[in-house]
Chain A
Amino acid sequence: MPSLKDLKNRIASVKSTRKITKAMQMVAAAKLRRAQDAAEASRPYTERFNTVMTGLASGAAGSASAPRLLSGTGSDQTHLLVVMTAERGLCGGFNGNIAKLARSHAQKLLAQGKTVKILTVGKKGRDVIKRDLGEHFVEHVDLSAVKRISYHNAQSIAKDVLAKFDGGEFDIATIFFSRFENVVTQHPTASQIIPAQFEAVEGGETSLYDYEPSEEAVLADLLPRGVATQIFAALLENAASEQGARMSAMDNATRNAGDMIDKLTIEYNRSRQAKITNELIEIISGAEAL
């Protein structure tokens, strides 16, 4: 049975925890709004880009001279997994879910005898991956100093990935990130970026374009941009998901702390009452004995 003083201290400590989680929740809510706005703002670009790319890619995919970024290297031996997670924890299952998806994907590939290389973005994912798949870890991109993700960040990651591709270090690249659905649901997603995949539009209105300088040159120029665009979109989705996950995790924590305070307060009142009753009994029985 804890003493009254212990209980009082306990209540005070849970109260201050609740204050912290409440504050974190509100900060996450504000950041979520900003992250969502950023994701929203990038959508027109991504959509139009994909429309044009789909048209171009479906025309070029059949030809033998298609760029390697589109047709692949002809092998699927070496896989590069780009695992994107958050820089910070305390956001529920967000980091764990992405890492879990990446890990199961990697193990499946390894079981098939493929070579796996892993590039991580975000500190939390690196820690998990290094522990479980340390020998496959090749590189880490640090974004901890970045406050707002800009296209520039995505470009530098894309440049890195493309340089590895040109250097023949891998055949297929897949990115792992969390797709933002709403504050309570985020889906860990894997999406292949090299070779580029576009859903063929069946009988879509593919108007005949003139290409300048030439169809091949335009395609060769756009494919690397496509990689950067996809990475950028994934980073933005991830940022929104992270804040959403943190917000709901902190909301839960705040509620739990509230429940705990109620319970502890009841216990505190009961034991105080018990003590008073005890004292009264002692006084009365003392008086009666006289």
Chain B
Amino acid sequence: MANVQFDLVSPERLLASVEASEVQIPGADGDMTAMEGHAPTITTLRPGVLRVVHSGGTDEYVVSGGFAEITAKGVSVLAEQALPRGEMTQEVFDEMIADAKAAMKSAEEVFKNEPGPVDDAAKLISDMVAMGGHIGLTSN
């Protein structure tokens, strides 16, 4: 089966660049799997687990947000914050949750009469908690 070129980049470094047979992406509207010949798509990400299947096995990465560019030949994921699942510890998770909660608090202050941004922030937190549940971390 033909492969797609998969790149995972965060602002600070290039995390992965491999030939993958399939890539599972936590899209904002739901998970999607990109394989060779996928229609060109740009999607935003929600916090979640990115799964890459390649000839050497399956890699999993935790991403906190960003976007993905999918073409027939490749998948580029530009994540705001990304790390291999193995490096995802309770401390990092707690930090992420704390950040999201702080963001929600400031959104509540700035946008008192607009529910939009506050709801977005609340969704971000629940997405993160769900992601934590998925990989076996709990939020307090």
- B14 and A211 contacting across the interface, CB-CB below 8 Å: no
- A48 and B11 contacting across the interface, CB-CB below 8 Å: no
Could you tell me which residues of chain A, from 144 to 172, have a CB within 8 Å of some CB in chain B? Answer: 150-151, 154, 159, 163, 166-167
Chain A residue with minimal CB distance to B111?
Answer: A166
Interface check B9, CB cutoff 8 A:
yes
How many A-B Cβ pairs are below 8 Å? 79
Interface check B43, CB cutoff 8 A:
yes
| Interface residues on chain B, number (Cβ under 8 Å) | 26
- B11 and A42 contacting across the interface, CB-CB below 8 Å: yes
| Residues in chain A near residue B42, CB distance under 8 A | 52, 56, 209-212, 218
- B12 and A210 contacting across the interface, CB-CB below 8 Å: no
Could you tell me which residues of chain A, from 184 to 229, have a CB within 8 Å of some CB in chain B? Answer: 207-213, 217-218, 221-222, 225, 229
CB distance from A69 to the nearest CB of B (A): 14
- B13 and A207 contacting across the interface, CB-CB below 8 Å: no
Chain A residue with minimal CB distance to B13?
Answer: A41
* A interface residue numbers (CB < 8 A to B): 38, 41-42, 44-46, 48-49, 52, 56, 150-151, 154, 159, 163, 166-167, 207-213, 217-218, 221-222, 225, 229, 232
List 25 A-B pairs, Cβ < 8 Å: A41-B14, A42-B12, A42-B13, A45-B11, A45-B78, A48-B9, A48-B76, A49-B78, A52-B69, A56-B42, A150-B12, A151-B12, A151-B81, A159-B106, A163-B110, A166-B110, A167-B110, A210-B39, A212-B43, A213-B44, A218-B43, A218-B67, A222-B44, A225-B66, A232-B11
* B interface residue numbers (CB < 8 A to A): 7, 9-14, 27-29, 39-44, 66-67, 69, 71, 76, 78, 80-81, 106, 110
